[in-house]
Amino acid sequence: MAYYNYIKSLHLIFVITWFAGLFYIVRLFVYQIEAAVKPSPEKEILQNQYKIMTYRLWYIITWPSGVLATIFGLTMLYLNPGLMQLDFMQVKFGFVFLLFLYHAKCHQIYLELQRDEIRYTSNFMRLWNEGATIILFAVVFLIIVKDAINWIYGVIGILLFSILIMLGFRFYKKIRQRNGS
C-alpha cells in the first residue's frame, strides 16, 4: 500500500492522456472527412497528412494511454479489493465499459478512414466527439461526489447535460451554415 498513491496518480495521468487522445482523434476524423471533398491536389495532400497524424496519435498516445490507465486501475483494485463493493464504483465500471466501447468504435472508424472509407459525415463526427465528454463528466462527478450522489438527480443531470450538448451542436451547425463553411 506504500505505492498506492503513486499508482493512483499514474492511473489519473493516463486517464487524462487517454481522453485527450480520444478528443483529438475524433477532431482529426472531422478534418479527414472534410478533406475528402476538397479538389486535387489539396485533397490528397490533406488526407495523407491526416492519416499520418491520426496514426501517430492513435498508436503513440491514445492506445498506450488507455492500456496503461487500465493496468493502473486494475492494480488499484488488486491492492484495494474493497473498492469493488462500493456502489459508486459499480456505476463507474459501467461508464468505463462504455468508454471501452467508445474507444473500440473510434478504432473501427480510424481503420475505415485509413482505407479512405468514409461512412460518416463531419457533422456526425462532431456529435460523436461529445460521447467521450459525457462519459468524462459522468465519471468525474461520480468519483468526486461518491456515495453522497442522489442517483436520480445524477441521471437527470447527465441527461440534461447531453441535451445541452445536442442543442449546442445544432446551434453551432446553424452558425456554420449561415457562414457558408
User: Residues 35-65: pLDDT tens digits?
Assistant: 999 999 999 999 999 999 999 999 999 999 9
Question: Does 11 carry a binding-site annotation?
Answer: yes
Rounded to the nearest 10 degrees, the angle between the axes of helix 4-35 and helix 42-56 is 170
pLDDT exceeds 70 at position 154:
no
Q: What average pLDDT does the segment 135-145 reach? A: 82
Q: What are phi and psi of 147, to 5 degrees?
A: -70, -20
Rounded Cα distance between 16 and 13, Å, is 5
Q: What single letter denotes the amino acid at residue 66?
A: G
Q: What are phi and psi of 94, to 5 degrees?
A: -65, -45
Confidence of residue 146 (pLDDT cuts 50, 70, 90): confident
Q: Which single residue is written with the C-alpha cell 441521471?
A: 155
Question: Does 105 carry a binding-site annotation?
Answer: no
Mean pLDDT of the chain: 89
DSSP for residue 41: T
Are the beta carbons of 147 and 88 closer than 8 angstroms?
yes
Three-class SS of residue 121? coil
Are the beta carbons of 134 and 158 closer than 8 angstroms?
yes
Residue 139's pLDDT is what? 85
Q: What single letter denotes the amino acid at residue 19?
A: F
Rounded Cα distance between 104 and 34, Å, is 23
**∠ Cα 92 95 98 (to 5°):** 155
